[in-house]
Chains A and B, each alone.
Chain A
Amino acid sequence: MELVNPGIGLIIWTAITFIIVLLLLRKFAWNPIMEGLRQREDFIDESIRAAENAKAEMANLRAENERLLDEARAERERIIREANVAAKNLIEEAKGEAQKQAQRQLDEARIAINTEKQAALADVKRQVAQLSLEIAEKLLRRELSNESAQKALVQDYVSNLNVQ
């Protein structure tokens, strides 16, 4: 059968053609194409990985920011609280100090007043004694200016002594 009887000429030409095409295409087409494909695939892989990384980093950054913000907030709270406490303490202290001061002044004033009072009383006593003496002298001088009065007085004293 002619159909399944391969011709030598065609075998040789096919072999030559195919091998030349194979060698030429390998050098000028397949190797550059495979290399180009590989590079592009690597590039795409890398880009996707980079995008993933960027996303993760972004999330990290956001979390970090959030954390920092929280910390700042807490710090603020703490500072305000401390300031409040400090202010209260200061006020308390000032109040105490003022009270003490006032007490001290009051005490001092009281002591001064007492001293002044004692002095004044002593003075008054002395003046009263003086006045009494003067009055008594004046009275006596007027009362005992006549003989009968002197006698009456002596009488009186003597009678009083008798009663006793």
Chain B
Amino acid sequence: MKVSETAQYLCKVLKISLLVVLLLGLNTAKVSAASSEGEPFSAGDMILHHISDAHEWHFWDGPYGTLYLPVILYSQDRGLEAFMSSRFYNDNHELVSYNGYQINHGHIERVGGGDVLDLSITKNVASMLLSAVLMLIIFSSIASRYKKGAVSAPKGLQSFLEPIIVFIRDDIARPNIGHKYRRFMPFLLTLFFFIWINNILGLLPGAANVTGNIAVTLVLAAIVFIITTFSGTKEYWGHIFNTPGVPWWLKTVLPIMPIVEFIGIFTKPFSLMVRLFANITAGHIIILSLFSLIFIFQSVAVSPISVAFATFMYFLELFVALLQAYIFTLLAAMYFGGAVEEHHHEEHEKVEEAQVDKALV
């Protein structure tokens, strides 16, 4: 009953708003891209601008709409320099050069040319730091519940996050890594929640596109690569350079297998990097493209369709945010599992594991 009533109501509202929008659109509409005066609207530029990093956090046009972030530069001859990015803008919010530096397409350059290392707190860095603080607050507050009375039922936020933590332990780490999963748990948990929180923060309007930046995914994949390589057992390396079950001439005379396996070491984390970056960036591009349609057609009449599709995409992206965090964590766990896999020396292994656990604690 209630559902059908609501549906009918929604239908009515939709019809009315469509009519209004159509009338408005037909009579008055000549919507121009708000920010660029005179310049024709370019969807590609707008989208690229939104998904790339910036030295300021732009919320809206006009006064107080922009949060200027600190710029930190290092060059051989001038040493370390730090100033606010507001120095690059004049009173009319136009780009100017400052102190021999200028911003060119979002990148800081020296005016005369020359090398400079940009270590600025950019929009992505700021957003990432925010997510880091959020994670620290959320999880240390939860952890206190476990420290106090270990044997008590979960409450509040804890009862939301605990199943996820248990899921990562029981369905990602344990089946893929085996009995040595314990030492990888802190990394896998941090990885999962770091990606997830940054994915979700990235979906907020005006937020940074952290996990859709290849530098971020590069670092995450590199850490996975380093952990995999350094926890590789004799069997792991043996499997790569002396693959069992392969004819001897494929390993010596025509060493295809070792080469393929060796490349595989790098392609695995590389795929992690590209997958997360591409998925998140693609989602942002699609949503932004849908909104760009309004400006491309220069008509408000397109907006209901754009909004409807963008809403759908938003829900999809919410799901993708979780899914990509899960996939990244799952694959990382599988790579770790491959690296620590052993088939022999059961007794020896257990002793070793106990020692490692003690060392980690």
A contact set with B: CB distance below 8 Å: 2-15, 17-22, 24-26, 28-37, 39-40, 43
Q: A4-B214, A18-B219, A21-B132 are in contact. Are A33 and B119 (CB under 8 A)?
A: no
Question: B135–A22 contact, CB under 8 A?
Answer: no
A5 to chain B, nearest CB (A): 7
Question: B215–A6 contact, CB under 8 A?
Answer: yes
Instruction: Give 1 or 0 for each of B254-289: 1 = CB within 8 Å of chain A CB.
Output: 000000000000000000000001000100000000
- Decide if B128 is an interface residue (CB 8 Å cutoff): yes
* Nearest-CB residue, chain A, relative to B124: A10
Question: A18–B53 contact, CB under 8 A?
Answer: no
Cβ contacts under 8 Å, A8 to chain B? 117-119
Q: A11-B218, A35-B146, A37-B146 are in contact. Are A17 and B122 (CB under 8 A)?
A: no
B contact set with A: CB distance below 8 Å: 48, 51-53, 72, 105-106, 117-122, 124-125, 128-129, 132, 135-136, 139-140, 142-147, 150-152, 162, 165-166, 169, 182, 185-187, 189-190, 194, 213-216, 218-220, 222-223, 277, 281, 361
Q: Give Cα distance in the complex from A16 to B136, angstroms.
A: 15
A30 to chain B, nearest CB (A): 4
Question: B219–A29 contact, CB under 8 A?
Answer: no
Q: Give Cα distance in the complex from A9 to B146, angstroms.
A: 37
Contact of A17 among B132, B145, B165, B218 (CB under 8 A): B132
14 A-B residue pairs with Cβ-Cβ distance under 8 Å, sorted by A, are A6-B214, A9-B118, A9-B122, A10-B124, A10-B213, A14-B128, A14-B220, A17-B132, A18-B219, A29-B139, A30-B189, A32-B146, A39-B151, A40-B152
Question: A3–B52 contact, CB under 8 A?
Answer: yes
* Nearest-CB residue, chain B, relative to A34: B185
Q: A11-B218, A26-B186 are in contact. Are A3 and B48 (CB under 8 A)?
A: yes
Q: A14-B128, A26-B190 are in contact. Are A33 and B139 (CB under 8 A)?
A: yes
